[in-house]
Chains A and B, each alone.
Chain A
């Protein structure tokens, strides 16, 4: 059965800390790995990774995919309270179907 596993399940850090969120996947017909940030409503798109070893960056966030190890990480540097959210990892199969992990709950304390 297809599955996506995220770790840790939850994390509490102080402002300014750097965090690394992990995502491993076992999905047939894998196409891409996506990261979303979910606050109280819609998951908002962060990154889509299709190729191994190419880091994608957006401000303080970055992500990379390892297709050999079936693994991705999301890094957030200099965390701020506004980064507090659930971070969702999803593996996209052909047909655009997403298999989601359970998410990592990040809380950044001021």
Chain B
């Protein structure tokens, strides 16, 4: 049973470009969460999605950031017009069900570097 798959592992973008980060949840998991880890800091919640629905985006910056989890295919975290402050590790996690005691399982992350 493959774990949470994220790609790419590393992504370099110049300021002003767009970054697209992909996440495929574990098999059988229908809930996806995105977290950001800045250097020397803990992981910070960004957004929680189910298939075709955004459940909680309270941690997402209001501008330039968007996320989706379509009916088919991986979840995508999209950052438009990247700035240096967007450089971080972005982790995706999945869980099977909400409302039950199920821990989140994380992918290996995408390390975004903005030059």
Contact = CB atoms under 8 A, between A and B. Distances in A.
A44 B42 CA distance: 14
Given A97-B48, A101-B42, A103-B42, A34 B103 contact: yes
Contacts, number: 59
Interface string A87-110: 010100001111111110000000
A97 to B, nearest CB: 5
Interface residues of A, number: 23
A85 interface: no
Nearest to A45: B103
A50 interface: yes
A32 interface: yes
B98 interface: yes
Closest 5 CB pairs of A and B: A100-B42, A41-B108, A100-B43, A42-B106, A102-B42
Interface of B: 3-4, 31, 33, 35, 40-45, 48, 55-56, 91, 93, 95, 98, 101-109
